[in-house]
Amino acid sequence: MTFRYQRSYRGKLKAVIVDWAGTVVDFGSLAPAAVFVEVFRRQGVELTIDEARGPMGMHKRTHIQVLTELDSVRARWKAKHHRLPTDADVDAMYKEFIPLQLESLADYSALIPGTKETAAALRKRGMKIGSTTGYNAEMVAINQRDAKKQGFEPDCTISASDVPLGRPSPFMAQLAMIKLGVWPVEACVKIDDTRPGIDEGLNAGMWTIGVAVSGNEVGLSLKDWEKLSAAEQARLRDGASSRLYQSGAHYVVDSIADILPCLDDIEARLARGERP
């Protein structure tokens, strides 16, 4: 045969699946970064904020493990302990990480501006809202509680502790689809501020939108962001956007407040028979 025929979904989007810290709460994704630095400091090893932010979005134990595999961190660890870090060290640091993170989360649960309004617009379009996170269930429960008080409540929340493997695997996004009862996968959009979070959506076969300014890639509080000159904001935005696009994001915006035009464009692409 000279021709092949292939099915393509031509309908509307049915769901968005959002990340938590840096995407809908905690502008700048500040809560986890500071705790990673503190956990390593307690081991006598200094960690820079940039190093701490590198694996952001992964399961927090995996995040710690990845940090111990950095050449710079291994060198500092060896200088302090006269040996390289082990799995037992990772387990011990993760054990310390959990209560420290739980103590701080409520201080970083403010909704990112535009979250509530965007959620209302999604509901108006008939879309469902799922969520995934690198936090475990106990941690994200604090964000869920505080977000609900502020008027934001997704239809489901999947934590890294709910699946065999966290990001960059697709399992959290796929489980969110199941919980939401939506399909096909190309009718879903993953929204995240981290590169592993973009990988999660891509590996699941979804459209992806990266949020550059409100999240980990810029890493500033809203107050500190607004203090910057327009030129400095543009420099940081361009760098963050470039990194998210390099990770494969289909679209990159400043924050969740800016996603609606992307959804319109995705639906136009679906109507033409395009896939993620």
pLDDT tens, 91-137?
999 999 999 999 989 999 999 999 999 999 999 999 999 999 999 99
Model pLDDT for residues 155-207, shown as the tens digit of each residue: 999 999 999 999 999 999 999 999 999 999 999 999 999 999 999 999 999 99
pLDDT of residue 59: 85
Closest CA to 266 of 253, 1, 236, 139: 253
Rounded-to-integer distance, Cα 41 and Cα 97, Å: 12
Write out the residue limits of the CATH 1.10.150.240 domain(s) in the chain. Answer: 31-107
pLDDT of residue 3: 82
**Residues in the chain, total:** 276
Lowest-pLDDT choice from 36-40, 55-59, 101-105, 237-241:
55-59
Closest CA to 172 of 180, 187, 160: 160
pLDDT of residue 241: 98
Write out the residue limits of the CATH 3.40.50.1000 domain(s) in the chain. Answer: 15-30+110-271
Residue 71 has pLDDT above 80, yes or no: yes
Q: How does the average pLDDT of the chain come out, rounded?
A: 95
Instruction: Kindly report whether the global pTM for this prediction surpasses the value 0.85.
Output: yes
Other beta carbons within 10 Å of 131: 26
Which distant-in-sequence residues (6+ apart) come within 8 Å of 150 by Cβ?
110, 111, 116
Residue 251 has pLDDT above 90, yes or no: yes
* CATH class of domain segment(s) 31-107: mainly alpha
pLDDT of residue 124: 98
**Encoded amino acid at 49, one letter:** I
Catalytic positions are 19, 60
Q: List the strands of the sheet with 15-18, edge to edge.
A: 156-159, 128-133, 15-18, 188-192, 207-211, 251-253
For the domain bounded by 15-30+110-271, which CATH number is listed? 3.40.50.1000
pLDDT of residue 193: 96
